[in-house]
Amino acid sequence: MALPQKHFKKGSIKPELPEDGVLRYFSMAFCPFSHRVHLLLAAKQIPHHKIYVDLIEKPEWYKDYSPLGKVPALQLTGVQDQHTLVESLIIAEYLDQQYPQPRLFPTDPLQKALDKILIERFAPVVSAIYPVLTCNPNAAADAIERFENSLDVFEVELAKRGTPYFAGQTIGIVDYMIWPWFERFPSMKINTEQKYELDAKRFEKLLQWRDLVSQDTAVQKTALDVQLHADFQKSKTLGNPQYDIAFRGKL
């Protein structure tokens, strides 16, 4: 049974979800944290049902699946009590253990810990650029400067590792966990007055990495066009987020 491609809102009727043991993935189409989980589901070719949720006007029934009201949320319909997992990195680690092909987390415990720390170090990148990325008129004057300083960590780390991906010769968990923001960064060229782009010299290795990752099958399957990202952020500044434009041309 195909679920409708729309974001369920407050007052909406709870969708009829099949009791078939298939994972239920609750998402918002433009949420980068949800995008992380979408990438893993695609990379591992895991069957799942997608249910999209309006984050401003959450449907009342959503608390039955995610008591905290968060996305992403993944309901494990094939296990006893049908637990629901939240937080993208927690979900990612669970999926990598339950569906080990392809393995995305390092098997070495120390390297796994170091990679999880590196993923956490992306938080300052996100917090610095988020107001700019979301077209917030109150973004701090030094937001881009702080963003670039935080992103330097990843340029240096990629050079230190000396491999095309953060995971080595093949794509891995760090690559997938930071990718959603790199898909969104180009929207700043459309939405910012200065038509911002990453500096080609300062971020030479990251830009090479971006071009390489963009060719990954899972990345291509989950990608949204940069214009869609830009249009969505503009709709947010007008106070009326247009979540369903993610499905433009697909309905």
- Packing angle of the helix pair 173-184, 109-120 (nearest 10 deg): 20
Query: First and final CA of the chain: distance in angstroms?
Result: 16
A 10 A CB-CB count for 4 gives 11
d(Cα 217, Cα 204) in Å, to the nearest integer?
A: 23
Question: CB–CB of 174/167 below 8 Å?
Answer: yes
Q: Which residues are catalytic?
A: 31
Backbone angles phi, psi at 85, to 5 degrees: -100, 145
Q: Are 135 and 236 in contact (CB under 8 A)?
A: yes
The alpha helices in the chain, defined as continuous H runs, are 32-43, 88-98, 109-120, 123-133, 143-161, 173-184, 187-191, 204-213, 217-222, 226-237
Determine whether 159 is exposed, middle or buried from the number of CB atoms within 10 Å of its CB (0-12, 13-18, 19+).
Answer: exposed
